[in-house]
């Protein structure tokens, strides 16, 4: 049976859309496969890692009839990538084999039964559906994703807090050393939600969401421990992280004594140069704020040193403080604005980075002792 017949780029695009969550090595070999369900000319592709499930449905030419099977997702993608984009390819199923043909190339792959594929058990009762523009959600994720923890024992930090209420949508991420908050005001009211999306889910949404037209919406529904997203012909089901996220409002410092506004790009460039001579372990830079001047200094165990100076519009007290340079570069590198505001109290206090004339972004970074 010819499962599908289509241009290489269309088949590859559909497979890549669902295969981001597939691990090359897994305790269950079948989870390295993509589940293919064919109903007439409609082909449904599904992948799972037991906690996240991604599905897309596409129309391809092929034989009439129905079929369900699974085949190695990464192998299929690697083969398709090696073929010309405008070449017509076909997938043919015969017993426990799948044959991919294109031009004079032919590849035969092993399949595993579709009945053995472990689909995610979806919640019986999801809450009300609501939609937000894909562009808005992707923009918020881009502003906070870098502050998520990685494999932290405090599992609730390995993700993003998603808070929806009224017309406000807020995303917060923290690893305990820094915190990023991004907020957008939407055109419609949203049912009140407060959930923690897992890190892998966040990164996959960031990859899949479109940032084009504002009318490309993502529909969301939440259950007790699950979320379901529908967008761009795809369905995305994920487990949620259970636990209590820190009170982010207490972390964000208020009533700073000193504020300065300076160019984002010059500051980022100076930090990137200073970072070259930081120690591998601590990545520390010393920032000295004094009237009219910001000095950035770094050193390492080999007694090598770097020093940068930037003229600034600042007339407050002299403040000498230290930060992890990576934390500062992450925030500045994920902004697109020309200017950045830095609020400070003293050398022992957190710094607050914001964007001038914008209330929707806050970034807090804890100081380091140098």
Contact 21, 49 (CB under 8 A): yes
- What average pLDDT does this structure show over 333-343? 95
**24 pLDDT exceeds 80?**
no
Q: Is the pLDDT of residue 212 over 80?
A: no
Q: What is the mean pLDDT of residues 314-319?
A: 93
Q: What is the structure's pLDDT at 291?
A: 96
Helix (H) or strand (E) holding 201: helix 199-208
Backbone phi and psi for residue 22, each to the nearest 5 degrees, phi listed first: -75, 125
**Tell me: the pLDDT tens digits for 72-104?**
999 999 999 999 988 999 999 998 999 999 999
What tens digit of pLDDT does each residue of 275-309 get? 999 998 899 999 999 999 999 999 999 999 999 99
> Could you say which DSSP state residue 241 is in?
B
Q: Which residue has the tokens 């064919």?
A: 38
Q: What's the pTM value of the predicted model, to 2 decimals?
A: 0.93
Cα angle at 340 between 338 and 346, to 5 degrees? 160
The C-alpha atoms of residue 85 and residue 105 are separated, in whole angstroms, by: 14
Provide the pairing of β-strand 217-222 with 226-231: antiparallel
What are the DSSP calls for 253-285, one per residue? --S-SEEEEEEHHHHHHHHHHHHTTS-TTT-EE
Q: What is the pLDDT of residue 142?
A: 95
pLDDT given at position 214: 66
Q: What confidence score (pLDDT) does residue 188 get? A: 86
Whether pLDDT at 187 is above 90? no
Average pLDDT over residues 310-338: 95
pLDDT tens digits for range 221-233: 999 899 999 999 9
State the DSSP code for 85.
T
Rounded CA separation 222/191 (Å): 10
- What whole-number distance in Å separates Cα of residue 343 and Cα of residue 340? 10
Strands laid side by side in the 42-48 sheet: 2-7, 88-94, 97-102, 105-113, 66-72, 33-39, 42-48, 52-59, 234-239, 226-231, 217-222, 130-133
pLDDT > 90 in the chain, percent: 88
- Using 50, 70 and 90 to split pLDDT, how confident is the model at 358? confident
Q: Phi and psi of 336, rounded to 5°? A: -115, -5
pLDDT at 19: 96
Q: Rounded to whole angstroms, how far apart are CA atoms 340 and 365?
A: 14
The torsion angles phi and psi of 49, rounded to 5 degrees, stand at -125, 20
What Rg, from alpha-carbon coordinates, does the chain have?
A: 25
Render pLDDT for 132-171 as a digit per residue (tens, 0 to 9): 999 999 999 999 999 999 999 999 999 999 999 999 999 9
Select the more confidently predicted residue: 180 or 359: 180
**Kind and range of the H or E run holding 166:** strand 159-174
Q: What is the pLDDT of residues 31-60, one digit of tens each?
A: 999 999 999 999 999 999 999 999 999 999
Give the CA count within 13 Å in the CB-facing half-sphere of 346: 1
């Amino acid at each position: 049976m010819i499962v599908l017949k289509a241009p290489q780029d269309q088949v590859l695009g559909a497979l890549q859309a669902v295969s981001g969550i597939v691990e090359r090595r897994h305790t269950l070999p079948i989870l390295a496969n993509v589940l293919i369900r064919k109903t007439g000319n409609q082909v449904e592709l599904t992948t799972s890692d037991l906690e996240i499930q991604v599905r897309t449905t596409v129309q391809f030419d092929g034989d009439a009839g129905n079929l369900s099977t699974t085949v190695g997702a990464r192998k299929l993608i690697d083969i398709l990538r090696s073929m010309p984009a405008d070449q017509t390819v076909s997938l043919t199923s015969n017993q426990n084999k799948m044959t991919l043909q294109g031009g004079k190339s032919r590849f035969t792959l092993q399949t595993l039964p579709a009945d053995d594929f472990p689909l995610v058990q979806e919640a019986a009762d999801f809450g009300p559906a609501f939609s937000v523009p894909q562009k808005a959600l992707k923009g918020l994720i881009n502003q906070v994703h870098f502050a998520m923890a990685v494999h932290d024992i405090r599992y609730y930090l390995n993700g993003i807090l998603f808070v929806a209420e009224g017309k406000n949508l807020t995303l917060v991420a923290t690893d305990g050393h820094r915190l990023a908050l991004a907020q957008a005001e939407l055109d419609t009211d949203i049912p009140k939600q407060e959930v923690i999306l897992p890190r892998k889910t966040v990164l996959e949404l960031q990859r899949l969401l479109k940032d084009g037209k504002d009318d490309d919406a993502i529909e969301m529904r939440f259950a007790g421990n699950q979320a379901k997203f529908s967008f761009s012909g795809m369905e995305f089901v994920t487990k949620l992280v259970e636990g209590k996220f820190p009170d982010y409002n207490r972390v964000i410092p208020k009533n700073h004594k000193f504020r300065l506004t300076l160019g984002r790009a010059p500051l980022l460039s100076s930090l990137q140069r200073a970072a070259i001579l930081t120690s591998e372990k601590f990545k520390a830079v010393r920032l000295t704020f004094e009237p009219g001047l910001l000095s950035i200094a770094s050193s390492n165990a080999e007694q090598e040193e770097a020093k940068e100076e930037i003229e600034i519009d600042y007339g407050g007290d002299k403040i000498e403080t230290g930060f992890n340079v990576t934390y500062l570069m992450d925030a500045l590198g994920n902004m697109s604005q020309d200017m950045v505001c830095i609020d400070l109290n003293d050398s022992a206090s957190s710094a607050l980075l914001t964007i001038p004339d914008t209330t929707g972004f806050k970034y807090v970074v804890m100081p380091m002792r140098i």
